[in-house]
Structure 1
Amino acid sequence: MITDRGNGIYGWDGKLYQSDIIRACIRPEIEAVGKLVGKHIREALRKDGSNDIKVNPDAYMRFLLEEPNPFMIGQVMQQKLATQLALNNNAFALIMRDDFGYPIEIYPIPSASAEAIYGENAELSLKFYFNNGKNSVFPYSDIIHLRRDFNNNDIFGDDPGPALTQLMDVVSTTDKGIVNAIKNSSIIQWLLKYSTGLRPEDLKQNAKDFADNYLSLESTSVGVAAVDSKADAIRVEPHDYVPNAAQMDRTTQRIYSFFNTNLKIVQSSYSEDDWNSYYEARIEPISLQFKGEYTRKLFSRRERGFGNYITFDASNLSSASITTKLAFVAMVDRGAMTPNQWLGLFNMPPLPGGDEPLRRLDTVTVTQAEGTKQTENKMLQQLKNKMVNQKSKVYAVDFDGTLCENYYPQIGFAKEDVIKHILQLQDDGNKIVLWTCRSDDLLDEAVTWCEEQGIVFDSVNENLQEIIDKYGSDTRKITADVYIDDRAIRPNELGGEDN
């Protein structure tokens, strides 16, 4: 829990998380947030007006979401932030960047307190104080900040303390009352009343002898006690004075209401309608906040302008009944879902080729049928072009700076006009060879990226087989009729205007 003092927050002593009721309230939320799957989406508008959507187009961003730092995977990171958000109404994570400004690691910040600091140019930074007595200052632009109950403070979410303190006092007092009642109920069970006066030490000895002989498990009297006329054995009836059960239930219900949950969610006895309501009220707002914070802190305004954003998806159909899940097979038939997406509802592994959408040909519309005919005509034209172009040309194409913007070692934004031209060359029956400085994993990423653009190379960083067969070796220089490179220059462009 946190308290707000001026333009900062101060961490609570942690006893809130020690309560079994509080932990039971927030655990379903934390687990659900951990199940969110972070994805990098690049959405652009084609010239024909259709959307060009790519999922996880850059390997470095996919790795960052899957493994934000060497000590935790993405699921654990999200659970950590969700826990801090539930308890403090604030959660922080620090973005580490390389020399080029690209994010490479993300770490949660479990600080004891935080303070907002404004620089000379009104640039905001946050100063964090840690439990070991140290402190650090980070630019707000490098901090993923999640908040809830954002009202009074300009930067931080409001303190949940005042709303919960009284309820937690009631819970604490109730728990202590139950413990004391259990302890007191077993203090005195029998009373020996003597008709004559005895010394204190004799009273203690007689009580001990009575307990050993008749109350001990090792006693041979088999539960039968005998006393003479000097004393009467009187049983003390136990009376447990515990807090009222109705009051305890009302207090627990108020805590459930504070955390937007209920007994069914806490005990996992909910129906699919119960879970959908809980998801929309509690999980979806966190998912949207994750999306907004990750997008604006991991991408620049220019990158966001090119359609890059981070989304956190969850299949809230995981709690649906088997009948509901089976009904979604109709979505697969119509291409609205891929077979692997449908299998994911059952937690089943994907199938090879299952990421391709299917469509039942007996239910196509007239427009779709015309589109299918146009596709067939295009394929026939490509075949004719290949037959006419018996002597096709070989094009050696560079990658960084040619097919995409040069952000080596990362992959830059696609150069749509160049890619369109290369695809047309392929349609005309020409051979395309990728000729790049990239190697190993970087080369594999480039080839995969090109395949996503529709370019499948006839060769990669080596000559075509027919060239090797013709000359008897694979030379270091790629043999081609045309070289396409952003750094190429024609010989006649050297030597001034006279040439």
Structure 2
Amino acid sequence: MAGFFDKIFRFLREPKDTKRAEIMSGGTAIFTPFSGNAYESDIYRSAVDAIARNAAKLKGTHVITMPDKRKQGEQRLNRILQVRPNPYMTAYDLLYKLVTHYYLYNNAFAYLQKDDRGNLQAIYPLSPQNMEYLTDMTGELYCRFLFGNGKQVTLHLSEVFIARRFFNSNDLLGDTNTAILPTLDLAHTQNEGLQNSIKSNATIRGLLKYNQVLSPEKLKEEKEAFVQDYLSVSNNGGIAAIDSKYDYVPLETTPVSIDDKQLEAVKKKTYEYLGISENIVNSTYTEDEWAAFYESVLEPIAVQFSLELTEKLFTEREQAFGNSIIFEANRLQFASNTTKTNILKELTPFGLFTINQALEILNLPPVEDGDKRLQTLNMVNTDIVDKYQLKEKGDNQNEGTKDSRNKSS
């Protein structure tokens, strides 16, 4: 029985005579998923999760845009983008994983499985241990992936979805997250400090000083007896009675507490690095905060994913005829009821919404024959207005001619 890896890449053939690609920056075009264990930080993980679970709600659609209208494209392709990109995950899972890789490693990869005619069959997110760019004798670019199971596969660039963040020093790859590692190390140190502070209460709290020399075994017995008699919960009175054979010296332990301002400073630096606010992370955002988050974080991801898939799935000729992939979300779903009502009140008279579109904005189910557009009679087509005005002008001229004739007669 073929394994998971073999099922995905069973029809691939390794290209011949390839060599490592040379880049203008002079470095190497090799990717390794270094994140400095950023995902182990609860602050960083919760922030990345907030972005990924919201970005995963974006809806990928194949559209054909014409000068006068836009229509949905191939249904099979839309099902891959919106429902089931591969047999092992949903569209939500795919986007969540790609966006998570995007923020952890600043590079996200996926295999675009196509048939012999270049039609998309499935999309698989890739989690390589290493990736390097190669070129063949004709200058074609390839990506060689090495996985954790020791197997490797080489894909043509047209078969690889690539999204890059902090795209600066390398010509083909995004930079690493080394800039945020000192902050994450500080967060780890703070957590360690809190743990040690709690544990300090369970360490030595006093000394028994004996006034005579005892063997180690006898000292241990005396200590255990003292703890059992006076330091256990059974000592309800809280008083110890001792004689002159030893002295008990209590040790005062003062747990070191971490300033809340320090904790907030680490959170703020992490959230600013990712471009989000704490209200987005804990889902207490306002309508304006959500709009800012969408425009500054989700929309750039949507644009990047849209452009990359459009280029990798369609030829230049197909793109010239208006074929493209777009990722978008119904932003009005996150608006307040007041805003939704005002939008419908102001725009429905212009015929901009169908009945079902208006119901969808209000989170209500569609109705039969709800794809009709309603429009007030006060809003008239420009051509009709022009014809009406010309007709009225002609009628007025005719009336004037009749009046002059009556007067002359």
Q: TM-score, normalised by structure 1?
A: 0.67
Letter paired with 1:98: D
Q: What secondary structure sits across from 1:115 in the alignment? A: strand
Paired with 1:253 and 1:355, the residues of 2 have a C-alpha distance of 46
Letter paired with 1:39: T
Paired with 2:161 and 2:340, the residues of 1 have a C-alpha distance of 35
Q: Deviations over 1:211-260 (max 9, x none)?
A: 2123323x265544322344444443221135554334323322221111
Q: Deviations over 1:68-96 (max 9, x none)?
A: 11111212111111011111111111111
Matched, 1:25 2:47: yes
Structure 2 gaps of 5+ residues are 1-25, 389-409
Q: What secondary structure sits across from 1:251 in the alignment? A: helix
Q: 2:220 is matched with which residue: 185, 189, 204?
A: 204
Matched, 1:241 2:241: no
Q: What secondary structure sits across from 2:69 in the alignment? A: strand
1:159 is matched with which residue? 176
Paired with 1:338 and 1:372, the residues of 2 have a C-alpha distance of 27
Q: Deviations over 1:159-188 (max 9, x none)?
A: 22x212322222223322322232223202
1:60 is matched with which residue? 76
Matched, 1:15 2:15: no
- 5 Å-filtered alignment, 1:40-189, equals 40-45=62-67, 51-55=68-72, 57-66=73-82, 67-160=84-177, 162-189=178-205
Bigger relative contact order, structure 1 or 2 (CA pairs below 8 A, ≥6 apart): 2
Structure 1 gaps of 5+ residues are 46-50, 374-499
- Is contact 2:46-2:281 (8 Å) kept? yes
2:290 is matched with which residue? 275
Q: 1:300 is matched with which residue: 315, 323, 346?
A: 315
Paired with 1:228 and 1:124, the residues of 2 have a C-alpha distance of 86
Paired with 1:226 and 1:276, the residues of 2 have a C-alpha distance of 69
2:328 is matched with which residue? 313
Q: How far apart are 1:21 and its partner, in Å?
A: 1.2
Paired with 2:321 and 2:311, the residues of 1 have a C-alpha distance of 13
Matched, 1:288 2:310: no
* Cα gap change, 1:52 to 1:262, in 2 (>3 Å): closer
Paired with 2:381 and 2:364, the residues of 1 have a C-alpha distance of 36
- Is contact 1:213-1:221 (8 Å) kept? no
* Cα gap change, 1:234 to 1:117, in 2 (>3 Å): same
Q: Deviations over 1:330-364 (max 9, x none)?
A: 22343222333333334333223333332123x22
Q: TM-score, normalised by structure 2?
A: 0.81
Paired with 2:268 and 2:278, the residues of 1 have a C-alpha distance of 8
- Is contact 2:63-2:71 (8 Å) kept? yes
Letter paired with 1:83: T
2:268 is matched with which residue? 253
Q: 1:324 is matched with which residue: 319, 334, 339?
A: 339
Q: How far apart are 1:196 and its partner, in Å?
A: 5.0
Q: What secondary structure sits across from 2:366 in the alignment? A: coil
Letter paired with 2:199: K
- Is contact 2:35-2:104 (8 Å) kept? no
Q: 1:350 is matched with which residue: 353, 366, 384?
A: 366
- Is contact 1:328-1:342 (8 Å) kept? no
* Cα gap change, 1:319 to 1:233, in 2 (>3 Å): farther
Paired with 2:283 and 2:327, the residues of 1 have a C-alpha distance of 23
1:338 is matched with which residue? 354
- 5 Å-filtered alignment, 1:210-225, equals 210-217=226-233, 219=234, 221-225=236-240
Paired with 1:372 and 1:133, the residues of 2 have a C-alpha distance of 75
* Cα gap change, 1:154 to 1:228, in 2 (>3 Å): same
* Cα gap change, 1:164 to 1:173, in 2 (>3 Å): same
- Is contact 1:271-1:319 (8 Å) kept? no
Paired with 2:89 and 2:278, the residues of 1 have a C-alpha distance of 31
Paired with 1:44 and 1:372, the residues of 2 have a C-alpha distance of 28
Q: What secondary structure sits across from 1:286 in the alignment? A: helix
* Cα gap change, 1:355 to 1:78, in 2 (>3 Å): farther
* Cα gap change, 1:9 to 1:202, in 2 (>3 Å): same
Aligned residues: 361
Letter paired with 1:33: A
Paired with 2:132 and 2:267, the residues of 1 have a C-alpha distance of 34
Paired with 1:295 and 1:35, the residues of 2 have a C-alpha distance of 19
Paired with 2:353 and 2:239, the residues of 1 have a C-alpha distance of 77
Q: What secondary structure sits across from 1:328 in the alignment? A: helix
